[in-house]
């Protein structure tokens, strides 16, 4: 399936070196990340060493080399959310799901990120789970949304 999709994407390019970044962007937009096999195929398609594709993909922060979790949690680190307790919410989520910011769980259930303001400051502190914004976050809401994976964490205030 990934290979078919890559073929479809590459069919709309000529195979020039200069197309590397747009190709990587399109692959990531469709797959959510850049699989190693896709980078090898892209290198062949544009006629550059695999190491070149890898170095470009790892240079730009926009590219992900690993898949995202099914639940992508983004904690707002904007000023309004920060003042109203976002650091504590982030800490609580980290403890509850056993991940640090920027990490994805081995079972691909969760990815935890922080982002700048979502534009929902009146509801601060906010998080987003996939496309859904959850405002006025509290520790209790964290526990409701994310069943803890570590015994005893729920009562560890």
Q: Which residues of the chain form contacts with ligand FES (CB under 6 A)?
A: 76, 78-81, 117-118, 120-121, 124, 126
Residue 103, Cβ neighbours under 10 Å: how many? 16
Find, among 55, 71, 57, 53, the residue nearest to 113 by Cα.
71
Smallest distance, Å, CB 137 to ligand FES?
10
Cβ closest to ligand FES, residue 81 vs residue 90: 81
Cβ closest to ligand FES, residue 5 vs residue 120: 120
Smallest distance, Å, CB 128 to ligand FES?
9
Contact 71, 129 (CB under 8 A): yes
* b/e code 133-144 from CB counts within 10 Å (16+ = b): ebbebebebbbe
Smallest distance, Å, CB 95 to ligand FES?
21
Smallest distance, Å, CB 22 to ligand FES?
31
Cβ closest to ligand FES, residue 34 vs residue 137: 137
Give the C-alpha separation, 72 to 116, whole Å. Answer: 15
The residue at minimum Cβ distance from ligand FES is: 78
Cβ closest to ligand FES, residue 65 vs residue 116: 116
Cβ closest to ligand FES, residue 35 vs residue 78: 78
Q: What are phi and psi of 49, to 5 degrees?
A: -65, 150
Smallest distance, Å, CB 134 to ligand FES?
11
**Cis peptide bond prior to 125, omega within 30° of 0:** yes
């Amino acid at each position: 399936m990934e290979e078919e999709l890559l073929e479809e994407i590459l069919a709309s390019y000529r195979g020039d070196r200069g197309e590397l970044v747009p190709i990587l962007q399109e692959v990531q937009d469709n797959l959510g990340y850049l699989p190693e096999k896709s980078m090898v195929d892209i290198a062949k398609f544009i006629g550059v060493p695999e190491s070149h594709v890898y170095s470009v993909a790892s240079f730009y922060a926009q590219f992900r080399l690993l898949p995202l979790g099914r639940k992508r949690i983004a904690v707002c680190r904007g000023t309004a959310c920060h003042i109203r307790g976002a650091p504590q919410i982030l800490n609580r989520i980290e403890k509850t799901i056993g991940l640090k910011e920027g990490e994805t769980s081995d079972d691909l259930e969760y990815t935890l990120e922080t982002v700048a303001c979502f534009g929902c400051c009146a509801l601060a502190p906010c998080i987003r789970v996939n496309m859904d914004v959850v405002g006025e976050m509290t520790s209790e809401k964290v526990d409701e949304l994310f069943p803890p994976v570590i015994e005893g964490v729920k009562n560890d205030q």
